Amino acid sequence: MSLTKQFAAAIRVIRRQRGLEYEDLADVSVRAHIGALEQGNANPSLDKLVNLAAALDFDPVALLAICVALRDGNTPDQALERAHAQLGDFKHLGGIKQLASEYAGNELVKRRSGKPANNENAEAVKRLKSEGLSQAEICKALGLSKSTVHRYWQKD
| Lowest-confidence region among 15-19, 22-26, 57-61 | 22-26
Query: Do 71 and 134 sit in the same domain of this protein?
Result: no
Is 68 among the domain residues?
yes
Within a domain: 97: no
- Show the domain range for 142: 119-155
User: 12 near 38, Cβ under 8 Å?
Assistant: yes
The total number of structural domains that make up the chain: 2
Q: What is the pLDDT of residue 116?
A: 67
Asked if the structure places residue 109 within a domain, the reply is no
Number of neighbours of residue 141 by Cβ within 10 angstroms: 13
Same domain, 65 and 130: no
pLDDT in tens, 18-28: 999 988 888 88
pLDDT of residue 3: 92
Average pLDDT over residues 73-99: 96
What CATH number is attached to the domain comprising 60? Answer: 1.10.260.40
Q: Is the pLDDT of residue 13 over 70?
A: yes
Residue 64 lies in a domain: yes
Asked if 1 contacts 71 with a C-beta cutoff of 8 angstroms, the reply is yes
**Does 37 map to a domain?**
yes
What are 88-122's pLDDT values in tens digits?
999 999 999 999 889 988 999 887 776 666 788 88
Confidence (pLDDT) at 119: 83
**Within this chain, do residues 13 and 69 fall inside the same structural domain, yes or no?**
yes
Q: Is residue 101 part of a domain?
A: no
Residue 47 lies in a domain: yes
Tell me which of 22-26, 42-46, 94-98, 124-128 is least confident. Answer: 22-26
Which residues neighbour 2 within 8 Å (Cβ) at sequence distance 6 or greater?
43
57 pLDDT band, cuts 50/70/90, is very high
Q: Do residue 128 and residue 71 come from a single domain?
A: no
End residue of a domain, out of 54, 79, 104:
79
CA-angle at 47, arms to 45 and 117, nearest 5°? 75
